[in-house]
Structure 1
Amino acid sequence: MYKIVEREVLASNIIHIKIEAPEIAKVAKPGQFVILRTDEKGERFPMSLADWDREKGTVDIVFIVLGTSTMKLASLKKEDTILDLSGPLGNPADVKYYGNVLVACGCFGIGPSVKLAQALKEKGNRITSVMEARNSSYLFWEERLRKVSDGFYVTVGDGSYRKRGWAEDFIAEYLSAGNKVDVIFAAGCPFMMKQCSKASEPFGVKTNVFLTGIMVDGTGMCGACRVTVGGKTKFACVDGPMFDAHKVDWENLATRLSSYISEEKVSLNFWE
């Protein structure tokens, strides 16, 4: 059992929980994830690591409440326990000196992007960060990301706060203006990452994305996280979760992600 020591609502339908997991916290690195199971009848599902404290032995996850498993997780309170927590899993992000790095994030991708940006900055990189949201109610951890960025921007889809638009729009405008970017890291929902990839591709800027959300088992046994990258089949859990965005077959990925929508609705109705 893994105890929840802190729980807070960060934004509209977005929850942050801190969990006692000293063995995971001891070796966690940016870009990695954990697999959770809330109870004996629950499914296994992945969550990116948003933070960790090696001294206190805790790890943090940030998630959006969408289906049965995340609703179960969101229903837990401080001092409640999670049945299973496995990790850290996946290959860490390629954190090294690049020069000028652009970090784009949105929704549940904001959490892990803060830790990634911090690690990249510690390697001497100049960090430009852009945070996107549907509207201002979906924004959180702005100050955390600003602190580890040399340049920080916010773009909101409905224009209710700061600049109207999305991360993809910022990337296209920023690169069109002649700003030098050596590599881009994008984290968020699959559609957001796909759009960021399309925005950067004409400029030839290497773009990395994190495909954590498409997993089930997390150790390469089930094959549910198959993704085509550069014409080859990869497993997001053991070959990733970080991949070259310009090599990902996004249309195939979208088809796979929509395969069980009807079953997910039935599951949610039963649980409710």
Structure 2
Amino acid sequence: MFKIVEEKVLAPSIFLMDIEAPRVAKSAQPGQFIILRMDEKGERLPLTICDYDREKGTVTIVVQAIGCSTRRMADFNVGDYFADFVGPLGRESEFIHENIEDVKKKKVLFVAGGVGTAPVYPQVKWLHENGVDVDVIIGAKNKEMLIMEDEMKAVCANLYPATDDGSYGYKGLVTDLIKDLVQNQGKQYDEVIAIGPMIMMKFVCKLTEELGIKTIVSLNPVMVDGTGMCGACRVTVGGETKFACVDGPEFDGHTVDFDEAMKRQTLYKDEECQKTESYEKNCKIGGAK
């Protein structure tokens, strides 16, 4: 059993939890994920690691309550336990294995969309701790939905918030801001790392390909089982079939077939809608918290 030791709301329907999981915390690296099950009959939820504290033995996750399981998960409180918390899974970010002096010479831009800010944070934090300064864009629909701004400011060189409605920071999409930084502000980047909604990563990659900037994306949105057994996260990368959970989740964004990946995301849409409707019905009649 894995105890929830801290919980807080970051934005409407988005919450953070610190989970007591010493073995996972001991081995976790930026870019990896865990599989969580709330109870013996619970759905397997792949969640990217947001942070980890090896001394305290805790792992931080950030969740958006949009489906049946994640909405039910939001009802858990500090002191409650999850049945399973397995990890770390997946491959860690590639810069972990690069010569740190070579990494320091690169100009890197991270682009985080929505809850994608959570998996971006441990990568930027690791680089900061190793003497590498990077720029970060965090995007959201509006100011209320921006998360982890203060945490990100503490570990990056320059933070650029962007909101679709212009309620905070740059007004426009993250792609508009990338274009502004490069074409109008004279910024030069050797690499972009983009994590967020699939559609956002697709258009970031289209832009960076035009700009000639290497781009890495995380395909965690298509994962289901998390171990490569179910095959639900099959993606085409460079003309070859890959499994996001075991071959990734990070890939060269310019070689990913995003249209295929986005279609795969809709495979269980009907089932999820039915489960969510059932959950909402139970809530109304007092069958759930």
TM over 0.5: yes
Structure 1 residues 78-128: Cα deviation after superposition (integer angstroms, max 9, x where no partner): 101111111000000012415110011022111121110122234443311
**Structure 2 contact 116–197 (Cα < 8 Å) conserved:** yes
Deviates further, 159-168 or 128-137: 159-168
Aligned to 2:272: 264
Deviation at 1:59, TM superposition (A): 0.2
Pick one of 162, 166, 190 that aligns with 1:182.
190
Structure 1 residues 193-237: Cα deviation after superposition (integer angstroms, max 9, x where no partner): 112112211011111111112112111111111011111100001
Aligned to 1:99: 106
Percent identity over the alignment is 44
2:233 aligned partner, one-letter code: C
**Structure 2 contact 50–122 (Cα < 8 Å) conserved:** yes
**Structure 2 contact 115–147 (Cα < 8 Å) conserved:** no
Aligned to 1:85: 85
- Indicate the structure (1 or 2) with the bigger Cα radius of gyration: 2
Deviates further, 226-235 or 213-222: 213-222
**Structure 2 contact 224–233 (Cα < 8 Å) conserved:** yes
Pick one of 127, 143, 152 that aligns with 1:145.
152
Counterpart secondary structure, 1:263: helix
Aligned positions, number: 272
- Consecutive unaligned residues in structure 1, runs of 5 or more: none
Distance 1:65 1:166 in 2: 23
Answering whether residue 192 of structure 2 is matched by residue 223 of structure 1, we say: no
**TM-score normalised by length of structure 1:** 0.97
Distance 1:121 1:201 in 2: 27
Note the 1:54-73 alignment, pairs <5 A: 54-73=54-73
Moved over 4 A (4+): none
Note the 1:228-243 alignment, pairs <5 A: 228-243=236-251
Distance 1:28 1:105 in 2: 21
Note the 1:23-172 alignment, pairs <5 A: 23-95=23-95, 96=98, 97=103, 99-172=106-179
Distance 1:181 1:124 in 2: 18
Distance 2:9 2:197 in 1: 19
Counterpart secondary structure, 2:41: coil
**Structure 1 contact 64–107 (Cα < 8 Å) conserved:** no
Aligned to 2:286: none
Structure 1 residues 1-40: Cα deviation after superposition (integer angstroms, max 9, x where no partner): 1010011100111110000000000010000000111112
Distance verdict in 2 for CA 1:7–1:77, change over 3 Å: same
